[in-house]
Chains A and B, each alone.
Chain A
Amino acid sequence: MAKPRLSVDGHVDLARNDGVPFDRAVVDSVRVNTPAVTRRAASLPGRRSVKSDWQAAWLARTVSMIDLTTLSGDDTPGRVRRLCAKALHPARPDVLDAIGLPDLTVGAVCVYHDMVPVAVEALDGRLPVAAVSTGFPAGLSPFALRLREIEESVAAGAREIDIVISRRHVLTGDWHALFEETQAMRAACGAAHMKAILATGELGTLKNVMKASLVCMMAGADFIKTSTGKEAVNATLPVSLVMMRAIRDYGRLSGFKVGYKPAGGVSKAKDALVYLALLKEELGDRWLRPDLFRFGASSLLGDIERQLEHHVTGRYSVAHRHALG
């Protein structure tokens, strides 16, 4: 097991996942019963609820775990700077003061490689920059170039790299190939944290999601992430439940804590709270920190801002009362 190191938000109890040797038996032992998963996911929102101050605190915690993201072909330095400003000041100062969290920021900013230098400069070391990499979103560019892309992004200052896996390895059951590919990417990341995007919407079954999760963790992923945001189906609660359980199982076999990042599809404050409830239930409080959990989201923050203002004023708010991200 690796030595504890200082993690993103200062926790020292977290040993970085160094991975474990590929173990086919772990993959083969996977069993997922979809109706049972669906039932758990469907009933959870009715079983857990946070109100008033607790709701405000949980929403603030959600903000602190957002990877504020822009991944568009029309991104420009100006657009990215504005996003970074929002990342550092995610809500109106009067609202943040009222809840006693004036220094609240999001977890990180997530951009394409070309925008990394702009973001790094804009954030000035106050927040990490995450870069999507490895031929995002399809992951079908030449393998050497995919590794090279990681290295370039790290060199440009990205502290987190969101890689995409080769879905074909999952769909053809070539788990060893997936392991080796992911391991190579992890090596290319060096000190930067690697989030492995599974593109769960393209993996066909929850069983494949669980297997792919385990293989990526065995290969050393620091986080496993659902989606690029570009698939037809992105993060869902059932998929999240399966991936959280994979993280738990991997923890049991390796001793490492691996992070989780649902991406795409979570745009409402209320939905975000359900994810946190599931996280708290399935993995425990330790995961409710930005070093082990992130939301990949672009529009979620706006909804949370309105909810926080409502908490402070008692009046429902509208988007134009909050700064655009």
Chain B
Amino acid sequence: MSVSEIFESMAWGPAPESRAEADAWLDSHGRRFGHFINGKRTKPGETFATEAPASRDVLAQVTQGTAADVATAVKAARKAAGPWAAAADHDRAKVLYAMARGLQKHSRLFAVLETLDTGKPIREARDIDVALAVRHFYHHAGHAEIRSETMPGAVPWGVCGQIVPWNFPLLMLAWKVAPALAMGNTVVLKPAEWTPLTALAFADICDQAGVPPGVVNILTGDGATGAALAAAKIDKLAFTGSTEVGRLLRRETAGRAMGLTLELGGKSPYIVFEDADLDGAVEGLVDAVWFNGGQVCCAGARLLVQEGIAEEFLDRVKARMARIRVGDPLDKAIDMGAMVHPAHLADVQARLAQTTGVVHQGRAPEGCYLPPTLVTDLHGADPLMQEEVFGPVLAATTFRTPDEAVQLANDTRYGLAGSVWSQDIDVALTCAPKIKAGVVWVNGTNMLDAAAPFGGMNESGFGREGGMAGLRAYLRPAAGKPLPPVTVRDGRGPSDAVDRTAKMYIGGKQARPDGGYSRSVVGPRGPVGEVGLANRKDLRNAVEAAAGAKAWSGTTGHLRAQILYYLAENLAARAHEFDARLKAQTGGAPEAEAAVRHLFRWAAWADKHDGRTLGVPVGGLAMALNRPLGVIGAFAAEVHPLIALAQVLGAALATGNRLVLVAPETAPLTATDLYQVLDTSDVPGGVVNILTGTHTDLAGQMGGHMGIDAVWSFSSADISAVIEREAAADLKRTWINNGLGRDWDAADAAPFLAAATEVQTIWVPFGL
């Protein structure tokens, strides 16, 4: 076309980004790569090809990591772990700073490599992936610098295995490596099978930045390599990827006393209210579900639009879709590039083919491409409304009221992200925190920053990346001493003249055990009383009662404090009785006074577990709120049982959770005696439910119950592994003791607060 012809047509022309530098870099390595272990590139082993999805040409051969490779890498990381953890904050910070600078200096090479390998538009790779990765290293160079000030006494996990996905290979590497190193860990990182190149190029950055050998190890390979890494002797595993694989890893790591954080899938709601800036919300969708071809875990893939404006809004969406340019990812003016791999393309197409909804599509060229897609007229059960598609597919439905919008938004197993669009501050700010998701954007979407915690609720995983909350994932919790074995005494006969068989406490009422079995509680001087033996139905009833007490999670901290103070007072009034009962059951020393003190502490904390406002680079606010988990199931401790009960109950209630508590096996009556105190202290029915029974019988049931949001175990029974394994069913949070004790009389709120709440990041951009 001549200039004068273009003058008439005013068409877009090609705006190619050169791949010459990237090709030169690949050529300089002979387009064959080994791993990066102990500061050196290894010789290529058995290799497989990594291809550019857009052009289908082979970019390089990379090595399939074997179990032996994994062992070598973990060994190198182990050797480097001690000196790296012992290094001065400033020395670690300098290395991270050099990594940030290095990435920045070579930013275009990384952007082009990323685009070649993933098929994402160069615009995104350049302005988002690489830019945010650089920002992540700078931000965490800062965290490394001030670690001793912000995290006094912190201990890193040691060797971290890290597995990252193919949708944001370099950015997810940064999210994993930067905080791990900043906190003093060493890492073995495995990039995704389809997209290993930027991680391999990152080895050069490590080299130039003076990362000590073994601190960062990079291992390529497929899922088998990942499985070998997960099975290796690592201290912590961090994974970003599908919920399905996350579940496997939860099972694989169960009972190994190691750290685990999972950033998994989502089906995030995108809510548009009638008073929204409709064009703004349409444009937001472009960034929500057509960003990176929808291959984004936090993609706003479920459009919920208020009924009165639905038709008009969808018309605008369709008009916008028609202008989305799909094509060569190396073109600077392309909105959507290639899908990452033909196999994935086929998967998305297959899902799309099954829908009963009406499909509207934009245009896309032949090849590994998909057009922007909108599916309307869907019912709630359509797989497109429920399952993650991981493609440019927007599923739309309508709602009538704000309450219904929230209800629909939360009608999902996931809980990664959400968007709320409304110009009405009441509607927007009321609905945003009600969306059960780790990140919620008000009048925006897919805003990400190193200072803002990112991560899921429910089956979107656990753990946070970014901000202070993200650092916690790379610190080892303080370890206690091994718990002594516990003997539950056997014996028969009444303890006194009047039968006192303690019942369960469910929904504020006493309840007989469903199974109709009881056992004697026998102290050092003989029988003390009887308690029922809870079974799975008692657990079910208790969880239902706890679920029904949802209002507790919405109460003010002030009210929760009042009730906890009241509880403490009433316990104090009966201190002698509790101490006597404890002595009768276990022969233990008085604990009531200490228990009262801890209840006062938790009353004090009830309105003080503040969130943070985050130093993110946008106009407006981003807030990290500490949200209660919901229903916590807890196995009580046998050591210092009354103090432990006060701590667990206090922590759970102060933070707005409801509790299903399984009484200590050796002192169950101490727990059941609490009913009357709870009843007289205005604790609403269902907020605390108490079961008595055998921990080993209930552990699996508790771990697998879908209505429980977290399981804590301080039990002396060997139940940590079964809880973690069963928790994989719905990826609930666990806080287990792995057979270790804790100093129950310590005033250490931090681990309780961390276990009882999860961070919800809410972005509220504003401006005139």
Q: Shortest Cβ distance from A230 into chain B, in angstroms?
A: 22
Distance in angstroms between the alpha carbons of A238 and B178 in the assembled complex: 36
Interface positions, chain A 37-66, Cβ under 8 Å from B, are: 37-40, 43, 46-54, 56-58, 60-61
Which stretch (A27-35, A173-181, A317-325) binds chain B?
A27-35
Interface positions, chain B 124-175, Cβ under 8 Å from A, are: 126-127
Known: A35-B618, A40-B283, A47-B123. A280 touches B443 (CB 8 A): no
> Across the interface, do A53 and B766 meet the contact criterion of CB distance under 8 Å?
no
> Across the interface, do B443 and A100 meet the contact criterion of CB distance under 8 Å?
no
> Across the interface, do B13 and A100 meet the contact criterion of CB distance under 8 Å?
no
Task: Select from chain B the residue with minimum beta-carbon distance to A61.
Answer: B7
> Across the interface, do A35 and B127 meet the contact criterion of CB distance under 8 Å?
no
> Across the interface, do A35 and B13 meet the contact criterion of CB distance under 8 Å?
no
> Across the interface, do A50 and B123 meet the contact criterion of CB distance under 8 Å?
no
Known: A31-B277, A32-B280. A53 touches B1 (CB 8 A): yes
> Across the interface, do A35 and B767 meet the contact criterion of CB distance under 8 Å?
yes
> B20 near A: Cβ within 8 Å?
no
Q: In the complex, how many residues of chain B place their beta carbon closer than 8 angstroms to a beta carbon of chain A?
A: 42
> Across the interface, do B10 and A280 meet the contact criterion of CB distance under 8 Å?
yes
> Across the interface, do B767 and A34 meet the contact criterion of CB distance under 8 Å?
yes
Distance in angstroms between the alpha carbons of A100 and B423 in the assembled complex: 50
Distance in angstroms between the alpha carbons of A61 and B3 in the assembled complex: 10
Distance in angstroms between the alpha carbons of A46 and B335 in the assembled complex: 11
Interface positions, chain B 324-346, Cβ under 8 Å from A, are: 332-333, 335
> B485 near A: Cβ within 8 Å?
no
CB contacts (< 8 Å) of B765 on chain A: these are: 35-36
Distance in angstroms between the alpha carbons of A58 and B11 in the assembled complex: 9
> A114 near B: Cβ within 8 Å?
no
CB contacts (< 8 Å) of B283 on chain A: these are: 36, 39-40
> Across the interface, do A39 and B444 meet the contact criterion of CB distance under 8 Å?
yes
CB contacts (< 8 Å) of A43 on chain B: these are: 127
B6, B7, B284 interface centre (most CB from chain A within 10 Å):
B7
> Across the interface, do A53 and B127 meet the contact criterion of CB distance under 8 Å?
no
Distance in angstroms between the alpha carbons of A224 and B117 in the assembled complex: 46
CB contacts (< 8 Å) of A50 on chain B: these are: 12-13, 15, 333
Interface residues on chain A, size class: 35 or more
CB contacts (< 8 Å) of B618 on chain A: these are: 35
Task: Select from chain B the residue with minimum beta-carbon distance to A312.
Answer: B3
Known: A47-B123, A281-B323. A53 touches B444 (CB 8 A): no
> A285 near B: Cβ within 8 Å?
yes
> A99 near B: Cβ within 8 Å?
yes
Q: Shortest Cβ distance from A254 into chain B, in angstroms?
A: 16
> A101 near B: Cβ within 8 Å?
yes
> B555 near A: Cβ within 8 Å?
no
Q: Shortest Cβ distance from B311 into chain A, in angstroms?
A: 13
> Across the interface, do B2 and A54 meet the contact criterion of CB distance under 8 Å?
no
Known: A32-B280, A47-B335. A54 touches B768 (CB 8 A): no
> Across the interface, do A48 and B333 meet the contact criterion of CB distance under 8 Å?
yes
CB contacts (< 8 Å) of A99 on chain B: these are: 3-4
CB contacts (< 8 Å) of B13 on chain A: these are: 50-54
> Across the interface, do B278 and A31 meet the contact criterion of CB distance under 8 Å?
yes
Distance in angstroms between the alpha carbons of A46 and B444 in the assembled complex: 19
> A245 near B: Cβ within 8 Å?
yes
Distance in angstroms between the alpha carbons of A54 and B126 in the assembled complex: 23
CB contacts (< 8 Å) of A245 on chain B: these are: 279
> A288 near B: Cβ within 8 Å?
yes
Known: A32-B277, A33-B280, A40-B283. A58 touches B10 (CB 8 A): yes
- One of A36, A53, A61, A101 near B443 (C-beta < 8 A): A36
Interface string of A269-309 (1 = CB under 8 A from B): 00000001000110001001000000000000000000000
CB contacts (< 8 Å) of B444 on chain A: these are: 35-36, 39
Q: Shortest Cβ distance from A27 into chain B, in angstroms?
A: 15
Q: Shortest Cβ distance from A320 into chain B, in angstroms?
A: 25
A31, A38, A285 interface centre (most CB from chain B within 10 Å):
A31
When A and B form their complex, which 8 residue pairs have the shortest distance between CB atoms, in order from nearest?
A: A54-B13, A36-B280, A57-B6, A35-B765, A33-B277, A100-B4, A49-B15, A33-B280
A-B contact pairs, 13 of them (CB 8 A): A31-B277, A33-B423, A33-B443, A34-B768, A35-B444, A35-B619, A35-B767, A39-B444, A46-B123, A53-B1, A53-B2, A53-B6, A101-B7
Known: A32-B423, A38-B767. 18 other contacts (CB 8 A): A31-B278, A32-B277, A35-B444, A35-B618, A35-B767, A43-B127, A46-B127, A47-B333, A48-B333, A52-B13, A54-B11, A54-B13, A56-B3, A60-B7, A99-B3, A276-B10, A280-B10, A281-B323
